[in-house]
Structure 1
Amino acid sequence: MFFTFASKRHARLLAALGPGLLMAGAAVGVSHLVQSTRAGADYGTSLLALVILACILKFPFLEFGPRYAAATGESLIRGYRRLGRWALALFALITLGTMFIVEAGVTVVAAGLAGVVFGLEASITQLSAGVLISCLLVLAIGRYRGLDLLMKIIMTVLAISTLLAVLLALGSGPEWRALDPLANIDRVWTAGGIAFTLALLGWMPIPLDVAAWHSLWTLERAEQTGQRPSVRHAVFDFHLGYVGATVLAILFLLLGALLLHGSGEPLPASAVAFSGRLVDLYALTLGEWSRPVIAVAALTTMFSTTLAVTDGFPRVLRALIEVTGKVEASEDAVADAGRHRTRYVGALLLVTIGALVVIHFFGHRFTALIDFATTVSFLAAPILAWINLKLLTSEHTPVEYRPRGLLLGLAWTGFVFLVVFCLIWLGWRLL
């Protein structure tokens, strides 16, 4: 009987796994490949401690997504509506104000890498269209099941290839001074250093609005498996993905420090040129044979991010439409499911077309585009942190699943951290 119980418990845990890897796939992208690598290339390991601190202090607010979904059976977005229209409006404003730029930012990097890896001679808009069409096919044909399976494969390949790349870098006799965290600290305390640091923290390891995405993925996974996860299993799944995303952020920063710091090679401003330069410098340092390893790590990173983001925003838009109460359910469950799916596809096309418009006009300045998007996400972080904390400590969350003890203390510490750094940014911009 014990083995039967253990087997059932194991099966329930396996049924809960998936949303955490989707969150990791969304996280491990621009913030890691571009921003973490730039941090290592420009500042060595001087920003490493701050990256780790940001990951720790953002942890509670992102964990609240799957916690709330598993505890209540509804998404954070519906929870925001329960708090009041003000909370839902703030979240909607942040989402609508950033979704095209965020989608464009992750897509141009994936497109640039695809052009380099496959040797494609095309404009950044054409390459981006190809990447987005690939994502659309996966999401339209495979739906959540296809997304879940493909993300597990991608994240496995990514973790192995990135770890291998770091080990190769450590074994190639790099400039060890680049690993001294104090060697470049003076460069951090400059106008450019502070601006980059705040942009880095905006998406490190992922924007806080992804907590709402995670809650939607948790519910979708429950519908797919026919089993609503326990809070314990949902949180374990989140821990798995979040720890993986944090470790990979550290690895990409180390790659930038070990291979690019002090090289004298400026990182280009266009997506294709940036991607090509990144892979070239790694190959020159480690040897030409290592080029496929670096290319696979980089391309899988960005495709996983683009795929997750391309799914996340339409889910949020559909949830916002449905939670306003303007869409009423009927007695025909099949018809309701069809309309539910239609709203997702319509939102998917809207986000894709909007991103392509942004890419067409601003894709040639992708580093500026990414810095803008990450900075906006950073400034929005205290607002989202406060809403999530208020919801999880309110009457809308069952008492036994409300954050307490260390988690609650960490949440308040993280909230203060986000507010202080936003004030620093505002003071820096004003003065």
Structure 2
Amino acid sequence: MADRTEPASAPSEMRRARWRYIGPGIVVAATGVGAGDLVATLLAGSKFGYTLLWAAVVGCVVKVALAEAVGRWHLATGRTLFEGWRSLGGWTSGYFAVYVVVWGFVYGATAMSSSALPLVALFPDGPDLKTWGILTGLAGLAFVWFNRYAVFEKVMTVLVGVMFVVVVYVAVRVGPRAGDAFAGLWPSLPDDSLLYTLGLIGGVGGTITMAAYGYWVNAKGWTDIGWLKVMRLDNRVAYLATGVFVVAMLLVGAELLHAANIALDSGGNGLVDLGDVLEERYGTATAKLFLVGFFATSVTSLIGVWHGVSLLFADFVENVRGGRGGRGGAGAGDGSAREVAAGSRERSLPFRAYLLWLTFPPMTLLWLDEPFAIVIAYGVLGAFFMPFLALTLVWLLNTDRTPREWRNGVLSNVLLTVSGGLFIVLCVQQIRDLPW
């Protein structure tokens, strides 16, 4: 990342206690880690033990680089990420428009189902999966609709605390072997482990919500380059916590599943299966506690997407209507105006329209098998988004769209380019695996 000293325009009390300001990084990291990511990490641990631990660590470094680049663009240029994309040509708007509509339709159902699964397991005599899914979707809609970023961040932070404590507790409970864990930090590739390795590096915590980080940074009130050090600390602390979280899940997979040769289902059902294994081994209390952590993980992804991607959509509509986002200069912009704009998006018609799109149309998929064409479109568009994000950031942050002193350094360019290449490989593999 660009190693420069930013102007001291942020409050002096912030410079004395930057850690008190962290928040947006926690939000983006928690939103990006969902039930599917936890199962992928568990499966990697169950198949290869501690061997791929290094890949989880490398994955967090990649996400730090991506989120730092997004945040630096917003702070250094005075422009949103979508304005940057539009400066690259009209093709970006066309791609985003198709992506955000199809992705939101399928993801809405996925998030509601994922949040419902632990509730069904916790309350077996209660409503069925579809009913719980609808209730969680409506609750997420109401929460984001009636609250602003400050409340949203506080609730996300509490849920992240629950996730973190529960998963680390379970990892300690299963008794990981420290020697084997440290050995797993040395890079190695067992037979048939390449795709699991790439998935751990590129998949866990990497979604469209990484693009929302800059919007959350602005909503926090960080509106110019004087907040750069705070943003970087926020980002690093968040992904350090994510790294511990992901490593803990991999240790659970390695110690509890790999050693006993226990197989899990893919998707959220795999976490319910793990709850059953924990109940058999460690008692009902540990199993129930894990299901609470599973619910917190799923809900952070749900409300994080409901809020963050709706901000992206609102900015997309603003740009298309107003024709903003030309090549132009990249000044620092008016910080107070940007903070007001970030707040007004949460009350805008496009923001709320996309909230409704994420909530109500996807409910139909809770009853129906996902239509084949939708599954294909969702898989293709989703696979292409992370390469799109990484490589457009390289483009934006190495040209005159960004002030010279805040452009990428060598380290940023290497990390973003490598991650872009990694995401392309994952994209090709995901497309190959689709049910054509």
TM-score normalised according to structure 1 size: 0.80
Give the corresponding residue for 1:7. 13
Offset at residue 13 of structure 1 (A): 6.3
SS at match of 2:232: helix
Q: Is residue 2:224 matched to residue 1:218? A: no
Secondary structure of the residue aligned to 1:186 is coil
- After TM superposition, give the deviation of residue 169 of structure 1 in Å: 0.9
Question: Hey, what's the Cα distance between the residues in 1 that align with 2:345 and 2:107?
Answer: 28
Write 1 or 2 for the structure with the bigger share of helix.
Answer: 1
SS at match of 1:403: coil
Instruction: Indicate the residue corresponding to 2:392 in structure 1.
Output: 387
The reply on whether 1:342 has 2:349 as its aligned counterpart is yes
One of 157, 161, 175 as aligned partner of 1:156:
161
Compared CA separation, residues 414 and 68, structure 1 to 2 (3 A): same
What is the CA distance between 1:149 and its match in structure 2?
A: 0.8
Name 2:23's counterpart in structure 1.
18
Call closer, same or farther: CA 1:92–1:341 in 2, change over 3 Å: same
The equivalent position to 1:280 in structure 2, one of 276, 279, 296, is: 276
Task: Check 1:199–1:128 CA distance in 2 against 1; reply closer, same or farther (3 A cut).
Answer: farther
1:240-261 Cα distance to aligned partner (Å, 9 max, x none) = 2122222211211111221122
For residue 252 of structure 2, the aligned residue among 249, 252, 255 is 255
Give CA-to-partner distance per residue, 1:252-294, whole Å, 9 cap, x none. 11112211225454434674x5443221112222333322332
| Alpha-carbon distance in 2 for matches of 1:55, 1:8 | 26
Residues 184 and 266 (structure 1 numbering): CA distance in 2 closer, same or farther, change over 3 Å? farther
Q: Deviations 1:167-216 (Å, cap 9, x if unpaired)?
A: 11116x99x89x97999933436xxxx4x666666532212x33321111
Change (3 A) 1:295 1:423: closer
Distance in 1 between residues matched to 2:419 and 2:344, nearest whole Å? 39
Q: 1:292 to 1:121 in 2, by over 3 A?
A: closer
Instruction: Using the TM superposition, give the Cα deviation of residue 312 of structure 1 relative to its aligned residue in structure 2, in angstroms.
Output: 1.8
**d(CA) in 2 for partners of 1:407 and 1:183?**
25
Q: What is the CA RMSD across the aligned residues, in angstroms? A: 3.7
Give the alignment partner of residue 360 of structure 2, picking from 353, 356, 364: 353
What's the secondary structure of 1:74's corresponding residue?
A: coil
Give the aligned partner of residue 336 of structure 2.
Answer: none
Summarize the alignment of residues 70-81 of structure 1 with structure 2, pairs less than 5 Å apart: 70-81=75-86
8 Å CA contact 2:58–2:201 kept in 1: the answer is no
| CA distance, structure 1, for counterparts of residue 369 and residue 232 of structure 2 | 39
Aligned to 1:122: 127
Alignment match, 1:267: 264
Q: Measure, in 1, the Cα distance between the counterparts of 2:71 and 2:156.
A: 18
Residue type of the partner of 1:82? Answer: S
Which residue of structure 1 aligns with residue 206 of structure 2? 206
Alignment partner of 1:35 is 2:40: yes
Greater shift, 162-171 or 289-298, is seen at 289-298
Query: Mean alpha-carbon deviation: is it higher for 346-355 or for 45-54?
Result: 45-54
**Deviations 1:12-41 (Å, cap 9, x if unpaired)?**
7644x2211110110222353222122223
Query: SS in structure 1 opposite 2:321?
Result: coil
Distance 1:13 1:323, change over 3 A: farther
Taking the aligned partners of 1:114 and 1:237, their CA distance within structure 2 comes to 32
Residue aligned with 2:174, SS: helix
Pair 1:349–1:284, CA change in 2 (3 A):
same
- 1:1-150 counterparts in 2 under 5 A? 7-10=13-16, 14-15=20-21, 17-150=22-155
Query: Once the two structures are superposed, what CA deviation does each residue of 1:333-382 show, in whole Å capped at 9, x if it has no partner?
Result: 99x9599523211210111123322333248x9xxx8x996775344322
Q: Count the aligned residue pairs.
A: 403
Q: Which moved more, 1:253-262 or 1:37-46?
A: 37-46
Q: 1:338 to 1:81 in 2, by over 3 A?
A: closer
Is contact 2:111–2:301 with CA below 8 Å preserved after alignment? yes
CA contact (8 A) 1:26 1:305 kept: yes
Contact 1:382 1:418 in 2 (8 A): yes
Structure 1 equivalent of residue 331 of structure 2: none
3-state DSSP of counterpart to 2:191:
helix
Q: Which consecutive segments of 4 or more residues in structure 1 shift more than 6 A?
A: 179-184, 371-375, 424-429
Bigger Cα displacement from structure 2, 249-258 vs 227-236:
227-236
The question of whether the paired residues in 2 share the 8 Å contact of 1:32 and 1:252 is answered with: no
Q: What is the letter of the counterpart of residue 33 of structure 2?
A: V
Pair 41,200 (structure 1): closer, same or farther in 2 beyond 3 Å? same
Pick closer, same or farther for the CA change 1:339–1:119 going to 2, 3 Å.
closer
Counterpart amino acid of residue 231 in structure 1: L
1:61-118 CA-partner distances (Å, limit 9, x unpaired): 3321111111123321111112222233333333333222233323322110122123
Instruction: Determine the structure 2 residue equivalent to 1:293.
Output: 289
- Is contact 1:310-1:351 (8 Å) kept? yes
**Which amino acid letter does the alignment assign opposite residue 206 of structure 1?**
G
Per the alignment, in what secondary structure is the counterpart of residue 368 of structure 2? Answer: helix
Specify the alignment match of 2:301 in structure 1: 305
TM-score by length of 2: 0.79
C-alpha separation in 2, matches of 1:405 and 1:103: 38
Deviation at 1:152, TM superposition (A): 1.3
Q: Would the aligned equivalents of 2:35 and 2:294 in 1 still touch at CA under 8 Å?
A: no
* Bigger mean CA deviation after superposition, 85-94 or 290-299: 85-94
User: Which residue in the other structure is 2:420 paired with?
Assistant: 415
Amino acid at match of 1:238: N
Q: 1:243 aligns with which of 237, 240, 259?
A: 240
SS in 2 for 1:170: coil
Residue pair 2:52, 2:187 contacting (<8 A) in 1 also? no
Contact 1:110 1:299 in 2 (8 A): yes
More displaced 10-residue stretch of structure 1: 53-62 or 398-407: 53-62
More displaced, 69-78 or 115-124? Answer: 115-124
Residue 133 of structure 1 and its aligned partner are, at CA, apart by: 1.5
CA distance in 2, matches of 1:372, 1:201: 24
Name the amino acid aligned to 1:147: F
